[in-house]
Structure 1
Amino acid sequence: MKNVKEPITEINKESFWDLIHEAKNACGQDMDAMLAYLKDRLVSMGPAQAQNFHDIIHAYEDLADKYGLWDAAGIMKEYGCSDDGFIDFRAWLIAQGREVYFAALADPDNLADVVPYGDCRFEQLSYVGDYAYEQLTGKSAYDQTDWSAYEALLMKLEQDIVYKGGIEFPREGADLKKYLPRLCAKHPDWDGQTRWNLQLKEIRDLVRAGKAYDQRQAPKKKHRSHGGEAR
């Protein structure tokens, strides 16, 4: 006899992804339909669960705020990715479900296996918990977030994430192609240009740190021995 899953009535880190999966199965790539589906489900669960959803989705967006993923977003979109575009990309990534989200943080190159649609942006998904909460209470979920509880939530959710080494650095040109080879090959229309503002010292320092990190990770060349002595 098949196990029948109980309907979701409480939003926690497991049921959050179950609800995303449920909405994705029902709506596919129709983002307007997915938004309406999620909002209706959250309204039916009440304000506390709408707030939980709101806090969890923002925590997952914050945990995905990594330059290596930002570079991947620019390649998938094929024309780079602005600050706001990257927020919307992270919401879109979450909409692809648990497996895609965690695989992208384990290695952004895994996004080569994901079909891009909707310009890889899903801005309104970030607001769906707030929409539901406001409909139920007339107040904003943003104003109700308990920030000490939110910090604890971030730490709890981060325990499940394995990040690819070096994901915290932006890259340029050949370095980026080495870091994300499959994704670059998958999107030949990408012009190969990154849009990092190298006028900013912080960005220049991060690019240099990424280059140094990649060099440390590169396989060491073996020296041949000559006449029994290492050269």
Structure 2
Amino acid sequence: MNDNITEINKDTFWKLIQSAKETCGQDMDAMMDFLKDRLVSMGPEQAQNFHDILHAYEDLADKFGLWDAAGVMKEYGCSDDGFIDFRAWLIAQGRDTYLSALADPDSLAEVIPYEDCCFETLSYVGDYAYEQLTGKSAYDQTDWARYETLLAELEQDIVYKGGIEFPREGPELKQYLPRLCTAHPGWDGKTRWNVQQKEMRDLIRAGKAYDQRQAPKKKHRSHGGEAR
């Protein structure tokens, strides 16, 4: 597919991801080869740009509410490393799916899971291309001041669902992600947060309090005539 991309920015990043998706479907090895070959053809600067943008999108998706969704979708739960691989897999689904998942993780009920929702090697494709071109690592070449500016720029396009920053336990999670939990009946209804950690207990309590504040208020029936 000729997509005429010669420079990687936030828009052409997603255009290249879409080209790879349309060309390779769910074949992740083929998608890796497709992306690497394209980046090599564009040169080291564009390989570095792709690397930085991909990792910025992974960082911007580092939210407990999305992690909970990953735990429902993945067959054996979702570890720290597994969540990184899940975020890469989510990016591989394209811009609309990625942004929708952050606006509402429950939208992932409409996404067909495959390969246990993991795409570890996608995180490395920019680095692989950069190393082939220069013999150096894209990780070592990242300009961190520029990266912070990039994060702020990319975040402007993201609308996060309220409460996405909190982890949830089983009953609360079913209320937060009702369609996704229904779409994955094999999920055991459990979460695997380490509640022995005070920080995690505090976050779970904060999420529960947030959800209670957002819940519709029950109307009380008046007795003895109309309310005044």
Normalised by the length of structure 2, the TM-score is 0.97
What amino acid is aligned across from residue 85 of structure 1 in structure 2? Answer: G
Q: Deviations over 1:101-140 (max 9, x none)?
A: 0000000000000010011000000000000000000000
Please state if 1:54 is matched with 2:44. no
The question of whether the paired residues in 2 share the 8 Å contact of 1:166 and 1:214 is answered with yes
- Where 2:7 maps in the other structure, the secondary structure is coil
Is 2:181 the counterpart of 1:201?
Answer: no
- Give the equivalent residue in structure 2 for 1:28: 25
Structure 2 partner of 1:171:
168
Deviation (angstroms), 1:60? 0.1
Deviation at 1:224, TM superposition (A): 1.8
Assess if the C-alpha contact under 8 Å between 1:78 and 1:187 holds in 2.
no
* Residue 142 of structure 2, aligned match among 140, 145, 150: 145
Q: What are the equivalent positions in structure 2 for 1:131-142 lying under 5 Å apart?
A: 131-142=128-139
When normalised by structure 1's length, the TM-score is: 0.96
Query: Which has the larger displacement, 92-101 or 74-83?
Result: 74-83
Residue 190 of structure 1 corresponds to 187
Q: Is the 8 A contact 2:54 2:123 kept in 1?
A: yes
1:183 alignment partner AA = L
Per the TM alignment, residue 173 of structure 1 is displaced from its structure 2 partner at its CA by 1.2
The residue that corresponds to 2:98 in the other structure is: 101
CA distance in 1, matches of 2:217, 2:134: 61
2:37 counterpart residue number: 40
Q: Offset of 1:80 from its aligned partner?
A: 1.4
Matching residue's letter, 2:183: K
CA displacement at 1:11 relative to structure 2 = 0.2
Contact 1:72 1:183 in 2 (8 A): yes
Q: CA deviation at 1:223?
A: 1.5
Q: Which runs of 4+ in 1 moved over 3 A?
A: 228-231
CA distance in 2, matches of 1:221, 1:183: 26
Q: Percent identity?
A: 81
Partner of 1:89: 86
- CA deviation string 1:67-95 (max 9, x = no partner): 00000001001331000000000000000
Query: Aligned AA for 1:114?
Result: V
CA distance in 2, matches of 1:9, 1:174: 49
Distance 1:193 1:140 in 2: 40
Distance (Å, rounded) in 2 between the aligned partners of 1:15 and 1:185: 35
In structure 1, list runs of 5 or more residues that go unmatched.
none
2:213 to 203, 212, 216: 216
Can you list the C-alpha shifts for 1:149-199, whole angstroms capped at 9, x where unaligned? 000000000000000000000000110000000000011111111000000
CA contact (8 A) 2:3 2:19 kept: no
2:50 is the alignment partner of 1:70: no
